[in-house]
Structure 1
Amino acid sequence: MIKFLSRTCAGLLLLLVASSAFSHQQKTAISTVLFNPRTDNIEVMHRFNLHDAEHAVRHIFGKNADIIDSLKTQQQFSQYVSQRFTMAREDGQLILLKSAGFEIDGKFFWVYQETHQPEKLNNLVISHDALRDLWPSQINTINVEGKGDLQTLTFEDSIELLKVEFDHH
């Protein structure tokens, strides 16, 4: 009985340590590319775990960078994300995005971008390298919504470009 209890306690302790380590740096981000029919804009929303962003800004901008209390650091991180996210047509013609702001919301740091929807857009070629230059294990997931069925792209390992196709309705 004592052996069973000690094994059970050891197993629970391992689970606690593992989940505690996991709760710190997730190394995942989720973005949404929304084709908004009301505004005719493409709205892009990037959601990063605030804890990941805290670690990242210290690596990228120096040990005094503070994403929670420094507007300057928040702007720098927003620009960093914007520079590492691109959308283009299949022929390579870039679809330029402008910044639409950023915010901290609970445990997340959000970066917003937008642009007017181009005419006759049959596909998008997307690159999303934010934090992947820092952590090769970083996984960036993108959900493309509002133009046909929901499509999900996952940037992991050595994937640099992914493409979505749209129905020709």
Structure 2
Amino acid sequence: MMLRRLVLLCALLLAVPLALPVAAHQQKIAISTVSANPRTDRLEVVHQVPVHDAEHALRAQGVKVADIVGSADSREAFARYVARRFLLEADGVPVGLEYVGSEITGGSLMVYLEAPAPAANATVRVNSQILTDVWARQENRVNLGSGTNVTTFIFTAGDGPREAPLTL
């Protein structure tokens, strides 16, 4: 009886690493950070999306060869997709974000955007629907601010915009 339990425990422990790659594919979470950089007087937006999820979104839009890691064109196509799915307003005025670039960090695609910084303590309205058109269970976290003064919103499919002051 004891030997049978030991064999079962060893089998379970060996199976766990085999299951991890399957779980690592579709993470269904994106993290966006919106902060003002007082040194450059720019509003900086960084989106962090798992590479596999970004490629899946491009394929869902009809891109036949979505290669986020190997193709700058794929990364830029995903950045355009993000721009359509991410609402950002400052004091009721849409913020026109400019694409700065992207990079792969670990298993994530980082998309960098920026715009002129809004007035001090502007009210920022945001809604992140990135990948919610691909997966209904997608969760998007948006962090407004930096340092110890951060407001975090969590968005899922169909959620409306939320707002908070953005301290500079």
> Does the pair score TM above 0.5?
yes
> Is 53-62 or 38-47 further displaced after alignment?
53-62
Is the CA contact (8 Å cut-off) linking 2:35 and 2:144 kept in structure 1? yes
Superposed CA offset, 1:39-74 (max 9, x none): 111100111111222222222233322222222222
Question: What's the % identity of the aligned pairs?
Answer: 35
Unpaired segments ≥5 residues, structure 2: none
Match of 1:28 in 2: 29
TM-score calculated relative to the size of structure 1: 0.83
For 1:105 and 1:18, locate their aligned partners in 2 and report how far apart those are by CA, in whole Å: 23
Number of residue pairs matched?
167
SS at match of 1:24: coil
> Is 120-129 or 4-13 further displaced after alignment?
4-13
Match of 2:5 in 1: 4
For 1:106 and 1:144, locate their aligned partners in 2 and report how far apart those are by CA, in whole Å: 23
Is the CA contact (8 Å cut-off) linking 1:57 and 1:66 kept in structure 2? no
> Are 2:114 and 1:114 aligned?
yes
| Correspondence 1:117-156 to 2 at 5 A | 117-146=117-146, 149-156=149-156
AA paired with 1:165? Answer: P
> Are 2:46 and 1:45 aligned?
yes
Unpaired segments ≥5 residues, structure 1: none
SS at match of 2:24: helix
TM-score calculated relative to the size of structure 2: 0.83
Structure 1 residues 151, 11: closer, same or farther in 2, change over 3 A?
A: same
What is the RMSD of the two structures over their aligned residues, measured on CA atoms? 2.5
- The Cα shift of 1:146 comes to 3.8
More strand by share: 2
- The Cα shift of 1:104 comes to 2.5
AA paired with 2:117? Answer: Q
- The Cα shift of 1:123 comes to 1.7
